[in-house]
Amino acid sequence: MAAIEVSNLTKHYGNTKAVNGISFIVEKGEIFGFLGPNGAGKTSTIRMLVGLSLPTSGRAYVAGYDVIGNIRLVKQRIGVVPEQSKLYDELTVAENLSFVAKLYHVPPGKRKKKITELLRPFPINRIQRQGLC
């Protein structure tokens, strides 16, 4: 099973064709660069793959799941690092992680354990860790 499989994916915004029948496969474990000039449709394609926008036509699968019919399962299996940070500056790193975990309905006990695990390699004092969730 491919990590990502895109077939004839198209996206229109009104009369503007942002993505024009793109097809590609990214195999599991493969490093894939998605490059192109401004306006080439890179962001529109990624938005469709992560469920932020519906394709006008074509098909896309992430981890074997259709991005139209199974977007919840897709979102459980992917992570996206945008070009610009979407973190809230007024929150600590732990608070930002907790916020996102709450959006994905991670239970409080599991949330606190995972955040502690993720922050363990970083120099953060114990007092800062206590207010995680």
Distance CA 99, CA 91 (A): 9
pTM of the model: 0.64
Length of the chain: 133
Distance CA 40, CA 36 (A): 6
Yes or no: say if 79 and 3 are a contact pair by the CB < 8 Å rule.
no
Helices (H), the chain: 42-49, 71-75, 93-103, 108-119, 126-130
In which residue are the tokens 């992680």 written?
97
Distance CA 14, CA 36 (A): 22
Domain boundaries, the chain: 4-75, 93-130
pLDDT of residue 54: 92
Determine the topology of domain 4-75 in CATH.
Rossmann fold (3.40.50)
pLDDT of residue 125: 56
**Digits of tens for pLDDT over the chain (133 positions)?**
899 999 999 999 999 999 999 999 999 999 988 898 988 999 899 989 988 889 999 999 999 999 999 988 998 888 776 666 666 777 888 888 888 888 788 898 899 899 888 888 877 655 454 555 4
